[in-house]
Amino acid sequence: MSMNREGRSTAPVSTNVTTSPTVSGNKALAQKELLIFEVGTPRRTGVDFSDTPSRPSRLGGLERTSDIGLPGLSEPETLRHYVRLSQKNFAIDLGVYPLGSCTMKHNPRLNEKMARLPGFADVHPLQPQSTVQGALELIDTLADWICKLTGMPAVAMSPKAGAHGELCGMMAIRAALDAKGAAHKRRVLVPESAHGTNPATAVQCGFTVDEIPATDGGRVDMAALRLKLVDSDDIAGIMLTNPNTCGLFETDIIEIAKLIHDAGGYFYCDGANFNALVGKVRPGDLGIDAMHLNLHKTFSTPHGGGGPGSGPTVLSDALLPFAPVPYVVKQGETYRLVEDATGTQSFGRMTAFHGQMGMFVRALSYMMSHGADGLRQATQDAVLNANYVQASLSDVMSVAFSGYCMHEALFDDSFLKDTGVDTLDFAKAMIDEGYHPMTMYFPLVVHGAMLIEPTESESKGELDRFIKVMRSLASRAKNGEVAHFKAAPVHAPLRRLDETRAARKPILRWRPEAE
Amino acid sequence: MRYLPLNENDRKAMLAKIGAPDVDALFGDVPKSARLTDLIDLPLRQTESEVDSALTQMAGKNRAAGSGPFFIGGGAYRHHIPASVDHLIQRSEFLTAYTPYQPEISQGTLQVLFEFQTQVAQLTGMDVANASMYDGSTACAEAALMACRATRRKKVHLAAGLHPHYRETTKTQGKFQGIEVRPCRSRPGHDENVMIGMDKDSAAIVVQSPNVFGEIVDLQPYADAAHAVGALLIAVFTEPLAFGAIKSPGEMGADIVVGEGQSIGVGLNFGGPYLGLLACRQKLVRQMPGRVCGQTVDANGERGFVLTLSTREQHIRREKATSNICTNSGLCTVAFSIHMTLLGEAGLRELARINHAKACQLADMLTEIDGVELVTDTFFNEFTLRLSKPARAVTHHMVEKSNVLGGLAASRLMADDNKSQDDLLIVCATETNSEADMTAFEAALKEALS
Amino acid sequence: MTMKYTEDHEWIKVEGDSATIGISPYAANALGDVVFVELPDIGTEFDKGDEAAVIESVKAASEVYAPVGGEVIAVNAALEDAPETVNASADGDGWFIKIKIKDADELDGLMDADAYKAFCAEL
């Protein structure tokens, strides 16, 4: 036995103590945390102010007289509150985050540093243009990279997120049709495997949605598509994700573009999965008319717990005249911002100011770091990683569609048939193993879908450990360990949450007990 | 490449497991004609220090707001952001997390959203708020659509003080959905014209206060006019700090309150990312667009939070969704909430008081100058001056001769309105402006007008 | 006064020239926990097949279609506070609306209880 000088044993004693709840409710590093409304008070503050004498009010008799009801905390209390909360989150920096279609790749910290340079972060959008030439140069440089990578002639930079970019593209299509007097062209074809934003966007632009089915191979059913186009004068266009939401390249895409153009419609490509193509395929070579990019997916700007995103949207020559304001033009060595749509065919303005500058800096920093060669390598590694996962799990889980996948691997729940374990249970068991679950129940064309996108950021060693765990979970499910899955997660900060209760009697804010 | 962990041996072993001869085989579904064989004509990879120096050089070509006297507002405001805000939002667990769809391992983001929603509701005097929109202008457009859904009407009236970018964004959103957006010509002063044409087809009046000229507007008459015909009042703001000093829109009859939250916790960033705030009365909750977080319990009965009411959203409701919005301004909401927690009610009120005092002092100083007249009798931290010379030329002169960013020429925002805005200068003062800044501005303006 | 069913799982119970409409227990079960029901205003008029109400569970929203045309004369306002009634008693207390029937002939194409049972068994 090893003893220290005080005569106590230094070797831990292994016992079979059942874990009992702690007095505090904390579990060592996992701390419970009350709401700021339960610990702060309106009088407390974590900010000091310089003495500034008041002046006679010019508030027009509308001075606030009532209490606001906002709690404050001192700086140390604030730090603790948010650090404790942060520790209840999973994150890319913590482990494998294989959310299909979301592209949870590494977020380089150089990008964060660059976005915080005062010349980018501390610049007002309405400063005279002579004082923001560097900012306009950055937007123009990023636009140039985007146009070259996509093979498209122009890009609208102002959309604030992917779905906003979809609006941009579809509004440009609507404006182009209206300019031609084609008011009868209002039907947009959308595959049933599409992201929910596609039909929602089409409707927001005044179109109707017509779904096209998928083949057994997970791609657009060309026969069904042709049927939709027969004798139809009302086709406005198609919205198609490529690679599609099953992780497959649409092999007939050039033919689809031709059919739609022959029908007098436009081709909107959902660029959510462009990360599978960068440096390998240019969407401009496929015949598309518009496509948004998700800078937070393909070009590594942080997801930030749900945003902010950024959705620059490339446009074909046919749609270019209808692009939204503002945009940057270069005249000699000077950059100029065009902010006024008067007298042009532009469909107008989509947002205040000029787009997500903070995200532009990060995306350009990512692109410059990779270069043309690194971007292509990243795409290849992403596709390689996805296929490696698919190949390594294909004998124990059920691959939805045969053949190679692109950047993500899609499984259905048939391997769980008769086990009593469903996709959700399987996902929750992954949480206990230290992994974020994959995307579940999407796309809708596959039963109990599990969509795994490892991205290029995972090492082979990390993937091998992940594969081992997934294989083990699959065999435990098949071996009848239903209870293990139904209980999961048991090691997360909370057990499964009651979403029915949340939706039936919504509590969307804190209120004092007395009310 | 420093961001890519695989090496050539890994790639070889993985291809063997897959049974593919080479990586190009994995791209076999791409039509041959579309496969790139060469690298795209762009620069090759660069080291961290190379990229750092190239971008730092580009940033150096901009005149950072903090590098000299600065007095521009117009929908984006420069305030001091405590160092701990930026430190906290750079924690990996906030920065590199996705939307909190797995609540068991996302309670950090979810609890912040719940606290954020409560803060926004309290600040605006509304019952509930959502988890944020892209920015103030898109929130304004979404509020107009929301009012149309709630009232089942299709006409929206915009008052003259609405920020022109918000007006244009709302027009763009409305026009393809058959919504009649009745815009206004931007001008200072009380806008009675907005009430003209209000009838049983009107869904809402949209009124901004403080408005784009800085004036503080009593919303109650607009609320009464809207309610008289069964329409809603949408109150808009671009400077949330004002609610530390003036009555909340909820106290003046607003049904929906939307605006820009950038002022609290988020830097200028040349216009984005920002965060749109959207709050409303309880009865309108199910018409609200965007993400919303709610309280519930877990299997052990412990309090927890989830995203809820998602059947309104595009990923469930598809073409019948309330909006196509998919993200919120995630990290910016965290920054807003942290800054608001640091301030607390006492801090917010003091900060608002200081902003108002600075603006009053600056207005007094500038109106002493010959050829300068104050247009806005009431204001918070932003006011409008009429100059004896075109304001755009004056702002250029001031920055070139004196390095003073002295306000915003109204014509920059109102290019399509009319010439009568050419001599209007919109000026903003905040706690970041020192006495020396103000004196420099006074001298520069005097010189520019002489 | 028998119940008839549609292929979209609505039921209709006719009493004279008016009728009560709801969704079948089969449908309520398939939807899972009902969290919200959006009902039309009294006085609204529908044609057969129009969207009459919306029913929401946590992860799905479904439209309820009018089995026959008519005018809404009553709605089950109790569902606003207690949507779970639809799960507990889909063909009883969980009814949605009462309508005044426009054209009784439209009832002809609907299934009776046995036919509906057989229809569900096929799904």
Q: H or E element: which one contains A114?
A: helix A109-115
Q: Which residues of C touch A503 (CB under 8 A)?
A: 35-36, 56, 58
Q: Which residues contact B399 (CB under 8 A, 6 or more apart)?
A: A128, A130, A131, B63, B405, B406
- From the list B46, B136, B306, which residue is nearest A368 (CB)? B46
Which position has the higher pLDDT, A61 or C57?
A61
- At A27-36, the pLDDT tens digits run 888 889 999 9
The C-alpha atoms of residue B420 and residue B407 are separated, in whole angstroms, by 18
The C-alpha atoms of residue B299 and residue A342 are separated, in whole angstroms, by 58
β-sheet bridge partners, residue A99: A452
- At A329-355, the pLDDT tens digits run 999 999 999 998 888 999 999 999 999
Q: How many residues does chain B have?
A: 450
Chain C nearest C-alpha distance from B289 (Å): 16
Chain B nearest C-alpha distance from A296 (Å): 10
B53 touches chain A (CB under 8 A): no
Q: Which residues of B touch A47 (CB under 8 A)?
A: 82, 342-343, 347, 351
- At C13-22, the pLDDT tens digits run 999 899 999 9
Q: What share of chain B is helix, strand, coil (3-state, %, to 5)?
A: 45, 15, 40
- From the list A49, A200, A285, which residue is nearest B314 (CB)? A200
Q: pLDDT confidence of A194, banded at 50, 70, 90?
A: confident
The C-alpha atoms of residue B178 and residue B22 are separated, in whole angstroms, by 53
| CB-count exposure of residue A480 (10 Å: 0-12, 13-18, 19+) | exposed
Owner of token pair 């709630």: B150
Closest C-alpha to B386, from B420, B428, B430, B355 = B420
- At A489-512, the pLDDT tens digits run 999 999 999 999 999 889 999 998
CA distances from A390 to A244, A400, A472, B19, B102 (A): 17, 10, 15, 12, 23
Q: pLDDT confidence of A15, banded at 50, 70, 90?
A: low
Whether A97 shows a pLDDT value over 90: the answer reads: yes
* pLDDT score, position B95: 97
- From the list B108, B122, B314, which residue is nearest A196 (CB)? B314
Strands C45-46 and C34-38: what pairing? Answer: unpaired
Q: Cα C74 vs. chain centroid, distance in angstroms?
A: 13
Strands B128-129 and A334-338: what pairing? Answer: unpaired
Q: Cα B158 vs. chain centroid, distance in angstroms?
A: 18
Please provide the DSSP assignment of B428-447 as one string.
E--TT--HHHHHHHHHHHHH
The answer to whether the beta carbons of residues B342 and A47 sit under 8 Å apart is: yes
Residue to mutate among C58, C64, C81, with most B CBs inside 10 A, is: C58
- Mean pLDDT over A350-371 rounds to 98
Q: Cβ separation of A508 and B294 shorter than 8 Å?
A: yes
Q: Cβ separation of A130 and B399 shorter than 8 Å?
A: yes
Q: Cβ separation of A504 and C84 shorter than 8 Å?
A: yes
* pLDDT score, position A144: 98
The C-alpha atoms of residue A456 and residue A466 are separated, in whole angstroms, by 15
Q: Which residues of C touch B316 (CB under 8 A)?
A: 59-61
Whether A231 shows a pLDDT value over 50: the answer reads: yes
Strands B202-208 and B180-182: what pairing? Answer: unpaired
* pLDDT score, position A83: 97
Chain A nearest C-alpha distance from B200 (Å): 24
Whether A2 shows a pLDDT value over 70: the answer reads: no
The C-alpha atoms of residue B378 and residue B363 are separated, in whole angstroms, by 11
- Mean pLDDT over A51-73 rounds to 95
Chain B nearest C-alpha distance from A5 (Å): 41
* pLDDT score, position C73: 94
Q: Which residues of B touch A36 (CB under 8 A)?
A: 115, 341
* pLDDT score, position B8: 97
Chain C stretch 56-95, residues whose beta carbon is closer than 8 A to a beta carbon of chain B: 56-61
Chain C nearest C-alpha distance from B295 (Å): 14
Q: Is the Cα dihedral B16, B19, B25, B29 positive or negative?
A: negative
The C-alpha atoms of residue B280 and residue B324 are separated, in whole angstroms, by 19
Ramachandran bin of A405, using left for φ above 0, alpha for ψ from -120 to 50, beta for the remaining angles: beta
Please provide the DSSP assignment of B329-361 as one string.
-HHHHHHHHHHHHHHHHHHHHHHHHHHHHHHHH
Which position has the higher pLDDT, B318 or A271?
A271
CA distances from C76 to A477, B236, B361 (A): 44, 37, 61
Chain C nearest C-alpha distance from B311 (Å): 6
C32 touches chain B (CB under 8 A): no
The C-alpha atoms of residue A187 and residue A238 are separated, in whole angstroms, by 9
Please provide the DSSP assignment of B204-262 as one string.
EEEEESS-TTS-----HHHHHHHHHTT-EEEEEES-GGGGGTB--GGGGT-SEEEEE-T
Q: Cβ separation of A503 and C35 shorter than 8 Å?
A: yes
Q: Cβ separation of C36 and B310 shorter than 8 Å?
A: no
Chain B nearest C-alpha distance from A427 (Å): 9
Closest C-alpha to A398, from A448, A455, A458 = A448
Owner of token pair 């007395």: A514
| CB-count exposure of residue B263 (10 Å: 0-12, 13-18, 19+) | buried
- From the list A131, A196, A342, which residue is nearest B316 (CB)? A196
Write out chain B's pLDDT in tens, 450 residues: 999 999 999 999 999 999 999 999 999 999 999 999 999 999 999 999 999 999 999 999 999 999 999 999 999 999 999 999 999 999 999 999 999 999 999 999 999 999 999 999 999 999 999 999 999 999 999 999 999 999 999 999 999 999 999 999 999 999 998 999 998 777 777 777 778 889 999 999 999 999 999 999 999 999 999 999 999 999 999 999 999 999 999 999 999 999 999 999 999 999 999 999 999 999 999 899 999 999 999 999 999 999 998 877 777 777 777 777 878 899 999 999 999 999 999 999 999 999 999 999 999 999 999 999 999 999 999 999 999 999 999 999 999 999 999 999 999 998 766 667 899 999 999 999 999 999 999 999 999 999
* pLDDT score, position A515: 47
CA angle, residues B311, B315, B316, in degrees to nearest 5: 35
Q: Cβ separation of C83 and A504 shorter than 8 Å?
A: yes
- From the list C36, C38, C61, which residue is nearest B316 (CB)? C61
Comparing alpha-carbon positions, the chain A residue that sits nearest to C57 is A500
| Chain C residues whose C-beta sits inside 8 Å of any chain A C-beta | 33, 35-36, 56-59, 83-84
* pLDDT score, position B267: 97
Q: Is the Cα dihedral A50, A53, A54, A55 positive or negative?
A: negative
Residue to mutate among C58, C59, C79, C87, with most A CBs inside 10 A, is: C58
Q: Cα B157 vs. chain centroid, distance in angstroms?
A: 21
Which chains form contacts with chain A, at 3 or more CB pairs under 8 Å?
Answer: B, C
Q: Cβ separation of A52 and B42 shorter than 8 Å?
A: no
* pLDDT score, position C123: 78
- Mean pLDDT over A385-389 rounds to 98
* pLDDT score, position A108: 98
* pLDDT score, position B428: 98
* pLDDT score, position C18: 92
| CB-count exposure of residue B315 (10 Å: 0-12, 13-18, 19+) | middle
Chain C nearest C-alpha distance from B169 (Å): 30
The C-alpha atoms of residue A217 and residue A400 are separated, in whole angstroms, by 9
Comparing alpha-carbon positions, the chain B residue that sits nearest to C62 is B317
The C-alpha atoms of residue A485 and residue A425 are separated, in whole angstroms, by 5
- At A455-495, the pLDDT tens digits run 999 999 999 999 999 999 999 999 999 999 999 999 999 99
- Mean pLDDT over A101-106 rounds to 95
* pLDDT score, position C1: 58
ipTM exceeding 0.85? yes
**What is residue A145's three-state secondary structure?**
helix
Question: In the structure encoding, which two tokens stand for residue B218, read together?
Answer: 């009593």
* pLDDT score, position B325: 80
* pLDDT score, position A18: 66
Mean pLDDT of chain A: 94
Q: Which residues of A touch B363 (CB under 8 A)?
A: 58
Question: In the structure encoding, which two tokens stand for residue A237, read together?
Answer: 């266009």
Please provide the DSSP assignment of A370-417 as one string.
HHHHHHHHHHHHHHHHHHHHHHHHTTTSEESS-S--SS-EEEESGGGT
The C-alpha atoms of residue A513 and residue A502 are separated, in whole angstroms, by 19
- Mean pLDDT over A84-105 rounds to 96
Least confident residue range of A68-72, A133-137, A413-417, C27-31? C27-31
Q: Cβ separation of A503 and C58 shorter than 8 Å?
A: yes
The C-alpha atoms of residue A350 and residue B134 are separated, in whole angstroms, by 11
Q: Which residues of A touch B17 (CB under 8 A)?
A: 388, 391-392
Q: Is the Cα dihedral A368, A370, A375, A379 positive or negative?
A: negative
- Any idea what DSSP says for residue A283? G
Whether A6 shows a pLDDT value over 70: the answer reads: no
The C-alpha atoms of residue A361 and residue A513 are separated, in whole angstroms, by 46
